[in-house]
Structure 1
Amino acid sequence: MLGYLTIASEAEAEIEVSRSRFRCLIVRVEDEMSARGVVEAARREHWNARHHCSAFVLGPTGAVERSSDDGEPPGTGGAPMLEVLRGRELFDVVAVVTRWFGGTLLGTGGLSRAYADAVRAALEGAELIERVEQELVDVTVDLAAAGRLEHELRSRGTNVLRIDYTDVATLQLAVPMVAVPIAEEIVAELTEGAAELVHRGRRWVDAPVTP
């Protein structure tokens, strides 16, 4: 797993279907507790609405998925909302659609379309970002090699977090997972095999979406 899509910040939109109002709020979250907190906050804010259907997908691979129809006929609220999130391949997001009943019954098909369309409308105004996994590594080299090594690594997309100088130079790096073999080759070439990457862990960071 090298990366996944999520939203940069919350987005909101409202549509009207046969005088029923459907307001969708989509928020980026990190865990299930936070996702449920967003749903409850919407319920408190819009206390006069009849339904607050929700869906969320969590984790880099979407390992956690939940949906709720909140009193609507089974499968007409949360399920179609979840399908939209899946279709857009978005993760670490929760969508809440609050409905104010307009007096006209929409039927199961109409409800499903309305809830899905509300999520689509909110996503139209959402900025997407990519979450990229990086390998955190250290490499220690002679002082004379540090400058050239830093330049070569940066030019290949490696983030040089810090350089500590003593009688040697230790570079702390964050390397995109796909670029780890390249970084290893650069270090081996510039130090004639005298230095190698020391792996310290991994992290996820935000990056612009590649067109």
Structure 2
Amino acid sequence: MDSFYTVAQEASEEQIIEKSRFIGLVKRIENTAQAEQNLKETRESLPNARHYVYAYRIHASKLEKSSDDGEPQGTGGKPVLDLLQHRQIWNVQIIVVRYFGGILLGTGGLTRAYAGTARVALEKAGRTLLIPHQIYSLKIPYSWYEQIKYGLRQHGWESANEQFMEYISLDVFIQYEEQDHFVAWLDEHTNKQVLWKPEGFTLKTSAIIS
């Protein structure tokens, strides 16, 4: 699994262009079912619009899809998808809703309107990097607890889910390229008195990127 960019938050922005109302919605998704549900909910919450243009990218399957929803071919969905590709953003759906204002924009005008509305909504959402981490479950003797916690902080390794029973158990999140270093440090530092085992992986968010 590799790192990838996604949005920092969901967002919406609105523009009036030649009397048409364009509403851009940025949604997080992980699969096509969520994308279809977002579109259904948007049609319900913003009813009677002329067009519901959208584009999305799903990282796990490397799936990309767009729709002009009745606009001239290539003037709606493609410019929105191009924007997501250019920003290298995954697991995101952008829906641009258009309430027609009576003035025809032409193919160039439509392309600029849909791309521009998607862009301002995406800028509001922000961009962040998701980094895969291996989860390690530790069983720590009480005599080692403070030293292990100090070492984790010193290395910048995040921990969570502490439980105090016969042993202290907790989870540690380690970037893939640091796994060998983490295991070697833990075994050598404690003379293998702290037990560990891998427990799957998760994606952790880095700092927000503009």
Using the size of structure 2 for normalisation, the TM-score is: 0.85
Q: Once superposed, which parts of structure 1, at least 4 consecutive aligned residues long, lie more than 6 Å away?
A: none
Residues 107-141 of structure 1 deviation map (CA, whole Å, 9 limit, x = unaligned): 22221121111100112212333322211113445
Seen in structure 2, the aligned counterparts of structure 1 residues 18 and 172 have a Cα distance that, compared at 3 Å, is closer
User: Contact 2:8–2:208 at 8 Å: present in 1 too?
Assistant: no
Rounded Cα–Cα distance in structure 2 between residues aligned with 1:164 and 1:54:
49
Cross-structure match for 1:137 = 136
Cross-structure match for 2:118 = 119
Q: CA deviation at 1:165?
A: 5.0
Rounded Cα–Cα distance in structure 2 between residues aligned with 1:210 and 1:116:
21
User: Contact 2:126–2:208 at 8 Å: present in 1 too?
Assistant: no
Q: CA deviation at 1:196?
A: 6.7
**1:116 maps to amino acid:** A
Seen in structure 2, the aligned counterparts of structure 1 residues 38 and 142 have a Cα distance that, compared at 3 Å, is closer
Seen in structure 2, the aligned counterparts of structure 1 residues 109 and 210 have a Cα distance that, compared at 3 Å, is closer
Q: CA deviation at 1:176?
A: 2.4
Cross-structure match for 1:44 = 44
Rounded Cα–Cα distance in structure 1 between residues aligned with 2:111 and 2:4:
27
Instruction: Give the secondary structure class of the aligned counterpart of 1:109.
Output: helix
Q: CA deviation at 1:150?
A: 2.5
Seen in structure 2, the aligned counterparts of structure 1 residues 46 and 185 have a Cα distance that, compared at 3 Å, is same
User: Contact 2:3–2:130 at 8 Å: present in 1 too?
Assistant: yes
Q: CA deviation at 1:80?
A: 0.7
Residues 82-123 of structure 1 deviation map (CA, whole Å, 9 limit, x = unaligned): 111111122111111111222222222221121111100112
Superposition RMSD in Å: 2.4
Using the size of structure 1 for normalisation, the TM-score is: 0.85
**1:198 maps to amino acid:** K
Rounded Cα–Cα distance in structure 1 between residues aligned with 2:168 and 2:13:
52
Residues 43-71 of structure 1 deviation map (CA, whole Å, 9 limit, x = unaligned): 222322211101111225x6121111100
**1:65 maps to amino acid:** E
Rounded Cα–Cα distance in structure 2 between residues aligned with 1:123 and 1:205:
21
Cross-structure match for 1:19 = 19
Identity in percent: 31
Instruction: Give the secondary structure class of the aligned counterpart of 1:91.
Output: coil
User: Contact 1:153–1:183 at 8 Å: present in 2 too?
Assistant: no
Rounded Cα–Cα distance in structure 1 between residues aligned with 2:124 and 2:168:
46
Q: CA deviation at 1:34?
A: 1.3
Q: CA deviation at 1:4?
A: 2.2
Rounded Cα–Cα distance in structure 2 between residues aligned with 1:24 and 1:144:
55
Structure 1 unaligned blocks of 5 or more: none
Cross-structure match for 2:82 = 83
Cross-structure match for 1:29 = 29
Seen in structure 2, the aligned counterparts of structure 1 residues 186 and 50 have a Cα distance that, compared at 3 Å, is same
Seen in structure 2, the aligned counterparts of structure 1 residues 151 and 126 have a Cα distance that, compared at 3 Å, is same
Q: CA deviation at 1:169?
A: 5.2
Moved more, 91-100 or 176-185: 176-185
